[in-house]
Amino acid sequence: MAEPIEEMTMTTFVELTRFKVAPDQVDALLAARPAMLTAFRADRQGFVDARLVRLPDEEWLDIVEWRSADDFAASRAKGANLPGIAAFFAAIAEVVGDEQGALADPERDR
């Protein structure tokens, strides 16, 4: 018996984190980003990709894709457990907002 379509289709889970970075920490944030991504790829099961967007007023938006909500939750539980991740987080002055949800673009998940 075939599985229902909902169970066969993998949905990408997206984490959107808006944060502020002081002007004197921008270079540190950008310098730490490659090591953070390397650490995520090595240590975070289900990590798909991440994009960093610079916004006005010292704000940034990190768009992180996960295979599932469970993978995201497991990553969040680990926190800044590796130096590359900790260095990136240390450059953040304030988290402004944090949202998560399923990607609603069925063409992208195929």
Domain range annotation of the chain: 11-99
Q: Model-level pTM?
A: 0.84
Band of the pLDDT at 10, cuts 50, 70, 90? Answer: low
Q: Are 93 and 20 in contact (CB under 8 A)?
A: yes
| CA gap 71, 44 in Å, rounded | 8
Of residues 12 and 62, more confidently modeled:
62
The pair phi, psi for residue 104, each rounded to 5°, is -100, 30
pLDDT tens-digit map of 33-87? 999 999 999 999 999 999 999 999 999 999 999 999 999 999 999 999 999 999 9
Band of the pLDDT at 103, cuts 50, 70, 90? Answer: confident
Using CB atoms within 10 A of its CB, is residue 69 exposed (0-12), middle (13-18) or buried (19+)? middle
The predicted pLDDT at position 108 comes to 60
CATH topology of domain 11-99: Alpha-Beta Plaits (3.30.70)
